Structure 1
Amino acid sequence: MNNENRDEYIIKKYQQDEEVMVQLFVQWCTNHQLDPAELYQRAYPGQLQSPVLIAAIEQSDAAELEIDHETLLDVLQMFGNDDLAFVVSEEIVKLPKK
């Protein structure tokens, strides 16, 4: 694999992984009746809505896939979304205990 193909592969793989991270975030929000766009805006008030986030919201369904709080926080932080992880942490504290 030459450098150009390798670079393209790495970028494409990161983008795919990022899409999965966003889908997990949207599903977690849906599971807890939270607005993912509102949480994102709180975390990143100076940014426009992410096209990846908008697409994930539009494609989300009501089927509940259980996503553990800690797993979501780990995935967000792995992608450098510390501000969003902080906002999610604030919401976790507000959720009713199961």
Structure 2
Amino acid sequence: MEFKSIEEQVIQKYKDDENLMIRLFVQWCANHKLDPQALYQRAYPEQQANPALKEVVESNDEFDELHIDNETMLDVLQLFGNDDLAFVVADEIGKLKL
């Protein structure tokens, strides 16, 4: 029984961390006036809308003035295996520098 509890805690921690990653992504997009759902769709065109992303976007009408560094955003996305999304974000970073 104790093993299951530890397993559940690990799963919950990953979900919490994943939610943080989504919130950082949404904040980064807000900082650069980009649509997070559109970027996600470009990265994963074969997937339906991401419910967790939609929930974060809808729950954050007012975004903090937290600045997310471009490199940090890329690192966080790659840490969670969102390489395709990191590629799209890197493309947008390139456009922002022009």
The question of 1:39 aligning with 2:39 is answered yes
Unaligned runs of 5+ in 2: none
Equivalent-residue separation in structure 2 for 1:30 and 1:80 (angstroms) = 22
Q: Which residue of structure 1 lines up, in the alignment, with residue 72 of structure 2?
A: 71
Deviating above 6 A after TM superposition, structure 1's stretches of 4 or more consecutive aligned residues are none
Residue in structure 2 matched with residue 59 of structure 1 by the alignment: 59
Which amino acid counterpart does residue 11 of structure 2 have in structure 1? I
Query: Are 1:24 and 2:37 an aligned pair?
Result: no
Distance apart, 1:96 and its partner CA = 4.0
Deviation at 1:2, TM superposition (A): 1.4
Aligned-residue sequence identity (percent) comes to 57
What's the TM-score once normalised by structure 2's chain length? Answer: 0.94
1:93 & 1:39 partners in 2: Cα distance? 14
RMSD (Å), alpha carbons: 1.3
Number of residues paired by the alignment? Answer: 97
